């Protein structure tokens, strides 16, 4: 199979490496945002060749789209206008409702599979792409009933070969859950970084003292604005819902400290400990 990857960054690049490693792609054609990312993707052997979008789409069996979500809708529609009967289009975006709504009446909707492989790091660009990235992680496929059986089979097979387990849900539910397990973690991390940068003047002390807790909570704050700002904006309502609840939970900790109410503080922490139920 010839696979065209549109967006050769963290996700698209890792996908290209995985598909080649698993022998699923005989050739990977890259479409990059600019000459610099294209050159990097070639140099790092993430893609075999770089072509303009039209040409890259024409030559592919599968077109895999992994670009910021504010650009995804237009590019998916543009690609779906270009494909013929045997081609399949997949996206990897972190939001699904707006996209699924935008493509729902496209004559080639059946050849599109809306997916979200649940993997990422705080890094971006072709240099952030890694082999074996997706193994053991979940991949959400949305509105599977709107894709043809053959397209769905090919995409499921592709993700399974990368050792992902597939979950099916509608696009709205995906966006609600993603707000909880991914989007809010990133906002918290960004806000925590800004808290430290705003108030703590002795950065050297922090740098020297920082232990595992700080590193793991603030790590996500290195994440790329071009990727994340559109995600938060496109999933605004769910993210605001979760963010409001999160602020109100923080206020409970604040109240327990202000009132020196040790019992309440312990109750809040012990309730939080129940997250063990959900985390492995």
Binding to its own copies, residues 165-224 (CB under 8 A)? 165, 167, 169, 173, 177-178, 180-182, 184-200, 202-203, 205-224
Number of other residues whose CB lies within 10 A of the CB of residue 66: 22
CB of 151 to its own copies, least distance (A): 23
Q: Is 269 in the site for its own copies (CB under 8 A)?
A: yes
SS3 assignment, position 229 = helix
228 exposure class (CB count in 10 Å sphere: 0-12, 13-18, 19+):
buried
Binders of its own copies among residues 29 to 88 (CB under 8 A) are none
Q: Which is nearer to its own copies, 131 or 214 (CB)?
A: 214
DSSP bridge pairs for 49: 29
Size, binding site for its own copies by CB under 8 A: 95
> Cα–Cα–Cα angle for 174, 176, 182, nearest 5°?
85
* Lookup: tokens for 108: 């080639």
Q: Which is nearer to its own copies, 35 or 209 (CB)?
A: 209
* Lookup: tokens for 218: 């603030």
Q: Which is nearer to its own copies, 145 or 215 (CB)?
A: 215
Phi, psi of 6 (to 5 degrees): -95, 115
Give the interface segment with its own copies, choosing from 28-36, 42-50, 56-64, 133-141 (CB under 8 A). 133-141
Give the interface segment with its own copies, choosing from 14-22, 53-61, 85-93, 226-234 (CB under 8 A). 226-234
CB of 195 to its own copies, least distance (A): 4
CB of 47 to its own copies, least distance (A): 25
* Lookup: tokens for 69: 């979500």
Phi, psi of 228 (to 5 degrees): -85, -35
Q: Is 124 in the site for its own copies (CB under 8 A)?
A: no
Distance CA 153, CA 246 (A): 39
Give the interface segment with its own copies, choosing from 26-34, 82-90, 146-154, 240-248 (CB under 8 A). 240-248
């Amino acid at each position: 199979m010839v696979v065209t990857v549109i967006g050769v960054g963290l996700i698209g690049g890792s996908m290209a490496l995985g598909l080649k490693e698993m022998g699923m792609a005989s050739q990977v054609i890259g479409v990059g945002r600019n000459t610099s990312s294209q050159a990097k993707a070639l140099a790092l052997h993430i893609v075999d060749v770089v072509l303009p979008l039209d040409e890259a789409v024409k030559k592919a069996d599968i077109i895999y789209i992994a670009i910021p979500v504010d650009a995804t809708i237009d590019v998916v529609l543009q690609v779906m206008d270009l494909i013929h009967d045997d081609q399949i289009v997949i996206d990897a975006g972190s939001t699904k409702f707006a996209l699924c709504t935008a493509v729902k009446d496209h004559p080639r909707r059946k050849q599109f599979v809306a997916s979200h492989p649940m993997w990422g790091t705080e890094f971006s660009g072709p240099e952030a792409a890694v082999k074996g990235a997706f193994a053991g992680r979940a991949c959400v496929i949305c509105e599977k009933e709107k894709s043809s059986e053959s397209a769905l089979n090919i995409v499921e097979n592709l993700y399974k070969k990368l050792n992902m387990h597939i979950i099916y849900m509608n696009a709205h539910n995906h966006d609600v859950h993603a707000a909880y397990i991914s989007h809010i973690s990133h906002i918290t991390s960004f806000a925590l970084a800004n808290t430290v940068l705003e108030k703590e003047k002795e950065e050297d002390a922090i740098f020297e003292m920082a232990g595992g807790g700080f590193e793991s909570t603030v790590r996500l704050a290195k994440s790329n604005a071009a990727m994340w700002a559109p995600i938060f904006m496109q999933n605004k309502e769910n993210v605001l819902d979760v963010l409001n609840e999160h602020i109100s939970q923080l206020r409970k900790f604040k109240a327990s400290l202000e009132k020196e109410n040790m019992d309440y503080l312990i109750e809040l922490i012990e309730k939080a400990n129940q997250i063990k139920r959900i985390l492995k």
